[in-house]
Amino acid sequence: MNRKQLVDQIFSKQSFLCVGLDTDIKKVPECLLNNEDPIFDFNKAIIDATAQYCVAYKPNLAFYECMGVKGMISFERTIKYLKENYPDHFIIADAKRGDIGNTSSMYARTFFEEYDIDSLTVAPYMGEDSVTPFLNYEGKWVILLALTSNKGSHDFQLTADQDGERLFEKVIRKSQAWGDEQNMMYVVGATQGSMFQDIRKVAPNHFLLVPGVGAQGGSLQEVCKYGIIKDCGLLVNSSRGIIYASSGSDFAEAAAIKAEALQKEMAIELNKIK
Ligand SMILES: O=C(O)c1cc(=O)[nH]c(=O)n1[C@@H]1O[C@H](COP(=O)(O)O)[C@@H](O)[C@H]1O
């Protein structure tokens, strides 16, 4: 999916919500546990209930890989279901990959050829040759970790060099020589608040994937105040806050209510940039 198609979806649906499919078998409601593939059935119900309120889905690979082959089958079925039934939704494989060039090429083949997913989260730590193999695919996106939502983001990402440039700024500045605004986004945690001002100084036009609203306590209003741009430039993710809104048999309806509430707030923010 290219940037224009993503932006068209955002404005037509009045939403820049990404629903995180962090599906933990230990949190799947009891009513599904005797099914043959409870993870897929849970995802399918969540997708059907929330699709009208969001523009993207982000399955996090950790939640599938931890179940071995069975988990990967649930992942593959989820991707296939999305592509067949909701082809306009942007799909993010949250796998945080990145390795020496020939290994990154294999990761790229996995997610962009075998699964044919729109985008992949990538860790920048190993530098240019670990990232560029992901950028050779027309219509596919690298989503590079820049300033993450967790406490540990302070350990390295905020450290400045002798010229005062912080590591997350260096990542964003240098990586702009590898990809562009049409094939590269950055991850910036919603918990970073006013730091979005600093992000927009180095990446004024790039799309940002913003996890951390909901369970991690980030503020959508604050993210928008400092981070929104003319064509929106934001995909805001919530996982647990939506998919585990209820642990009962009404889990899908409860997820829809949470997703709709976020979509309504997003519509207000989009109205401000019209
Ligand atoms: O790359 C990510 O998506 C990510 C980056 C980051 O800085 N913080 C972060 O929480 N994430 C992911 O975003 C999701 C957040 O989930 P919730 O906190 O349940 O909404 C998880 O899948 C995390 O792995």
What is the set of domains in the chain, with CATH numbers? 3-272 (3.20.20.70)
What digits encode the pLDDT tens for the residues 186-237?
999 999 999 999 999 999 999 999 999 989 999 999 999 999 999 999 999 9
- Give the largest Cα separation in the chain, rounded: 59
Mutate to test the pocket of ligand 1, among 22, 122, 145 (most ligand atoms within 8 A of CB): 22
Quote the ligand 1 centre to 60 CA distance (angstroms). 8
Is 0.90 topped by the overall pTM? yes
CA distances from 53 to 147, 194, 250 (A): 27, 26, 18
What digits encode the pLDDT tens for the residues 18-67?
999 999 999 999 999 999 999 999 999 999 999 999 999 999 999 999 99
Residue 181: phi and psi, rounded to 5, are -70, -10
Q: Residue 128 corresponds to which tokens in the numbers above? A: 């240019």
CA distances from 164 to 10, 27, 147, 149, 184 (A): 36, 44, 16, 22, 25
The ipTM (two decimal places) reads 0.99
- Residue with the smallest CA separation from ligand 1 atom 7 is 148
Ligand 1 contact, 192 CB (< 6 A): no
Distance CA 135, CA 140 (A): 7
Residues acting as catalytic residues: 96
Is the Cβ–Cβ distance between 225 and 200 less than 8 Å?
no
- Containing 210, the helix (H) or strand (E) segment is strand 208-211
